A and B are shown apart, each in its own frame.
Chain A
Amino acid sequence: MAKEKSAAKPQVRTKTTWKSALKRDWQLYLLLLFPIVMVVVFNYAAYPGLRMAFMDYKPAKGYDGSEWVGMETFIKIFKDRDFVRALRNSIVFNLADLLVGFPMPIILALILNELRYPKFKKITQTILYLPHFLSWAIIGSVALTMFRPSSGLVNIALMDGGIIAEGIPFLNEKWHWAVTYLLIGVWQNMGWGTIMYLAAITGISGELYEAAMIDGAGRWKRMWHITLPGIKSTIVTLLIMNLGRVMGSNLERLTAFENTQVKEFQYQLAVYIYNKGLGTGKFSMATAVGLFQSLIGLILVLLSDKVAKKLGEDGLL
C-alpha cells in the first residue's frame, strides 16, 4: 500500500474536490459500494464482538446484560492448562513446520531448474503441484489409508518385507504423529512452494552462468554462487511472510489428523478456540484467545514487514 502512494507522487496532482471527483467517478464509487458493504457487514461488524474478551459474556444476557471484567479473562486463560498446552503446541509445531517445510521448496526449485529434459520437468512439476489442490479431508483420509497401524499400506509393505513385526503407529502415537503430521505438511506444500523461486530463477541473467562456466565453475558452484544469491530476496520475503504466520493454526489440517491418542500434540489454538467456544460455550475465553492470536499475528506481520524493509527487500505492506 505504501508503494502505491510513492508511485502516485511524481504525477502533478491538481487538487480535485470531492464534488468534482464524485461527478466524474460516481460510477466507480458505486461499484466500490458492494465490496465495502461486504467487509462492513462481515468483517467490521464482527469487531465489536471482541469486547466479549473483556466481559463475562453470557449468551442469554447478551452484550448489555453481561458483566465487564477487564483483563480477568486473559489472566484466566493464561492459568488455563489447556490454553498453555495449545499455545505451546501451536508455536512449536509452527516453528517446526517452518524449519523443515521452508527449505524444501528452495531445494526442489534448485533441482527442478537443473533438470535437463523439459518434458520430464513439466510432467514432474504438474505431479508435484497435485497435493496443493486437494482438501485436508482428502489428504487426511488418504493418509489414514496409508498409515493405519494394522491395515495402512506403508505398514503392510514394511511387514510383508519383514522389516517390522508390528505396525508403526504413524498417526496413533504422539511422537510418531508429530513427525508424520509435519512431513505431510511439507509434502503438501513442497511442489507448490517452488513457484515463486522458479519465477525468480528465470529472472537471473544467463550471462552470469556463461561467465561462470568460462571461469570453470561447475554446476554446484553455479548453484551456490549464482542461483542462490539470485533468489535471495525471494527467500527473505517468503521467510518473513511465514514468520508472520507463526501464531496461526489451521483447523482443517489439525482435525484431518485428529484422534484420541494424539490429543496431547494435536491440541492447538484453533482446536482450543473451536472446542471451548462452540463446543462448551465459553465464549469469552475463546474470544480472548482469538484476540490474543490475532494481535500477535498482526504484530508479527508488521514487525516482519519492518525487518524486510530494513534489509532492503520489498516488504509486504
Chain B
Amino acid sequence: MRITQNRRSWAWPYVLFMVLLVVLPLLLIGYYAFTDPQGGFTLRNFLQFFHKQEAINTFIYSLAIALITTIICLLLGYPAAYIMAMRSFRTPAVMAILFILPMWINFLLRTIATVELFHMFGLPLGEGALLFGMVYDFLPFMIYPIYNTLQKMDLSLIEAAKDLGARPKEVFTKVILPLSVPGIYSGIVMVFMPTVSTFAISELLTHNKITLFGSLIQRSFGEGGIAMWNYGAALSLIMLIIIGMTSFFGNNDTEDINR
C-alpha cells in the first residue's frame, strides 16, 4: 500500500544517523587498533598488550572482579526479586520503586559516599571496598529484570504444578526458576557489562590503588596523548569482543525486546 511505502522511508534518517554515529565509529575502533599513528597497518598494538604481563594481569583481574560482582548481585538479588514478586509475601508495591530510587542519585556521588562510609567505619579501601561499591551500584540492575519476569509469570503454572503434586522445592526448581531464566540472563548482562568496563568507580573506591581494564583504556586516551590512541583502540577492541560474547550469551533478552 502507498501509506506503508511512504512510511517506510521515515526510518531512513535514523538509519543514516545510526550508520554514521554507531556503525562507523565502531569500525574506526578497528581501524585505529590495526594501524600505527602514521596510518600504516600493524599488529604492534595487540603485541604490546600480549607482551605486557601487567596489562594481561589487569585484564584477567577485571574479568574476575566483574564475574564476582555479578555472582554476588545474583545471589543477593534473586531472593529479593522473588520476595517482591511473589504475592504470598505481601510485599507492598512501593518496595519495587524504593529499589530503583537510588539510581536517581548520580552514581559517582553515591560512590564517593560509599568511600566515606568505609572511612567512618575505619575500613581500608581496597578490593573489599571495590566489590562492595560495585555490588552496591549495580544490584538494582540485577533485581529489576528478575522481578519483571517473575511478576509476569503465569501463576496458574505454579498452581498446576502444586495440584499435580509437586513439593514447594520442586515447584521452585522445576517451574519458577526455569521460567525466570530470561530475567536472570538480562540481569547478568546488565551487571557484567558495566562492571567489566567501568573506570571511574574503581578509581574512586580504591584511590587509584587498583587499576581495572577500563582505566587502562581511559588512560591511553587521556594522559597518553595521540601516540597511545592506537593502543587504546586495540584494548577497546578486546573489550568489544568480551561485550559481544556476553551479549550473545544474553541473546534471549534482546530478542524479547524486538518482539
Q: Determine if chain A interacts with chain B.
A: no
Binding site for A on B (CB under 8 A): none
